[in-house]
Amino acid sequence: MALRGQLLRLLRTQHRHTCQPSRAQSVAVLGAPFSQGQKRGGVEHGPKVIRDAGLIERLSCLDYSVHDFGDLDFHYLEKDEPYMGVKFPRTVGAANKMLSGAVSRGVGAGHTLVMLGGDHSLAIGSVSGHAQQCPDLCLIWVDAHADINTPMTSPSGNLHGQPVAFMLKELQDKVQDIPGFSWTKPFLSSRDLVYIGLRDVDPGEYHILKSLGIQYFTMRDIDRLGIQRVMEVTLDSLLARKQRPIHLSFDIDAFDPSLAPATGTPVNGGLTYREGIYITEEIHNTGLLSAMDLVEVNPVLGANSEAVEATASLAVDVIASCLGQTREGAHRSINVIPSEKNDTEQLCL
């Protein structure tokens, strides 16, 4: 088993995914300041506080050219009545349609795409836009919540708890024609999805996970197996059949609230810093990360400025680790040992 895992990791470093024949040398950062997928205001400010925490400077210290494409300009409809209990369906649908097109263009241009949310309903647009360019992608969902409720099983009607249901082919007959979503159709198979960090799953979601045989790891599983084994099984499950692009959708509430307090639905007993960064390091090491989401940073919900800064800084660490920052250093390529530092190099220390 250990030898098989070593061989698979070697193959993953040698093969690249179909929509990007070699690891992208550029990163596109795209802000999605949107909050209508849930009820708590403030999450629309997530992209700004993540940038303010030094994201662009951190990424510039890695071996990429970094392009900050700014924030999308979403429009909130004045009249957007609930439909079958789903709240703000037309507004959320329109926002995701806009985001899908932007992500598709970014990935199609050869960038590794980083989407800054916003709430997690935005994953509908982010993952579907990625899938337009990379239809064979797989999805790693790191979150305290499964976000796989259908409109009929959702206790709240909030769409940030339903995005995965809109993606899965197996749930096509369970997600009715919701206003605002005629532009998208299910595109992902349940075997192309793995969850990590679950600890607050609704009854309907639990039934879906079990009935579809979706691979998932709760925090109990992480305690029992260890994060190294969890990542081995995750990557083998998704990549053993063939090498393909990875979409990582990372909700900051996957971490324990002591580390990420400024978020809308915190749940005790989450990932430690070391576990979260190990996940992202292993994903980077595959050479197959093509796009990622970092969502649900809400500065309004931080008890004080320190709580907001800690959450935003953690988001920057997650993104940078996905893109090659390691706990051994950033490993920016250099040809000679410099005799003196310029201002840019000082930023990268």
Active site residues: 120, 143, 145, 147, 160, 251, 253, 296
For 79, residues 6+ apart whose C-beta sits below 8 A from its C-beta are none
> Would you tell me the crossing angle of helices 305-322 and 273-285 to the nearest 10 degrees?
30
Phi-psi region of 180 (alpha: psi -120 to 50; beta: other; left: phi over 0): left
β-bridge mates for residue 139, sequence order: 193, 247
d(CA 94, CA 97): 5
Q: Which two tokens stand for residue 134?
A: 């990379």
Other beta carbons less than 10 A from residue 129's beta carbon: 29
As a whole number of Å, the CA-based R_g of the chain is 19
Long-range contact pairs involving 1-8 (C-beta distance under 8 Å, separation at least 24): 5/232, 5/236, 8/235, 8/236, 8/239, 8/240
Could you please report the per-residue DSSP string of 199-246?
----HHHHHHHHHHT-EEEEHHHHHHH-HHHHHHHHHHHHHSS----E
- Beta-carbon contacts of residue 229 (< 8 Å; ≥ 6 apart): none
Residue with the two structure tokens 């309004």: 300
User: Secondary structure of 33-52 in the HEC alphabet?
Assistant: CCCCCCCCCCHHHHHHHHHH
Question: What type of residue is 13?
Answer: T
Those residues whose C-beta lies under 8 Å from the C-beta of residue 341, and which sit 6 or more positions away, are none
Residue with tokens 């940030």: 160
DSSP state of 111: P
Identify whether the C-beta of residue 295 lies closer than 8 Å to the C-beta of residue 252: yes
